Structure 1
Amino acid sequence: MSGRGDTPPHVRGAPRAARGIGLTRAEAIGVTVLLALLLVSALGVAYSKHVSRRLFVELQGLQRVHDQLSEDWGRLLLEQSTWGTHGRVESEARERLGMVLPSPDAVVMVRP
């Protein structure tokens, strides 16, 4: 070889990676830190995806509960309107309370 170590002359001017020379200590630490950050970032993405899916499943369950409660609310409103009709109140007053309409001569008009 040429006396400049054991590097062949055709490789001396080539980039470091092409020469097969390892990284300096600072570069190795930098690459290690970047790989660690890449790993942490990948784990963060996986964890956030997991949390997102879990929350979506919870949201779907809550929407089902909401739909069921909305149906119940509609049925209760219908039942309330049924119980409050004039005919229903009158029939309950007659059957349960024994109330009857007064005769016309028993009605007294009060004037202000």
Structure 2
Amino acid sequence: MLRLLLTVLVVANLVTALGVVHARHRHRVLFVELNQLDKARDELDIDFGRLQLEQATWSESNRIDQVARDRLGMKFPESEETVVIRP
């Protein structure tokens, strides 16, 4: 009876030790994945900030005016070209 109890305790101890080893390994794997995801998030945040700055630059009114003049040949109408229609 004592031998059976000792065997059960040794087996339980080994199973518990293997469970701890597995849990620590899983923790390390998940921690590495978390660090990689944090790095990817930080890179995406940097890209997002750069894109916001680029969008703000492209949408400035003087930039739009410059593109309209240079690429599209647009200009403000002269006063003699302006027609006012009244009801």
Specify the TM-score bucket, using the shorter chain as the normaliser.
over 0.9
Percentage of identical aligned residues: 45
**How many pairs does the alignment contain?**
87
Query: C-alpha deviations, 1:65-101, integer Å up to 9, x for none?
Result: 1000000000000000000000000000011111111
Provide TM-score, normalisation by structure 1: 0.73
Give the 3 Å change call, closer, same or farther, for CA 106–27 of structure 1 in structure 2: same
Q: Which has the larger radius of gyration?
A: 1
Q: 1:42 to 1:110 in 2, by over 3 A?
A: farther
Q: C-alpha distance in 1, partners of 2:47/2:86?
A: 47
Partner of 2:20: 45
| Partner residue of 2:34 out of 59, 69, 75 | 59
Q: List gaps (5 residues or longer) in structure 2.
A: none
**More relative contact order, 1 or 2 (CA 8 Å, 6+ apart):** 2
CA-atom RMSD, angstroms?
Answer: 1.3
Matches within 5 A, 1:65-104: 65-104=40-79
Displacement over 3 Å in runs of 4+: 109-112
Structure 1 residues 111 and 43, CA, compared in 2 at 3 Å: closer, same or farther? farther
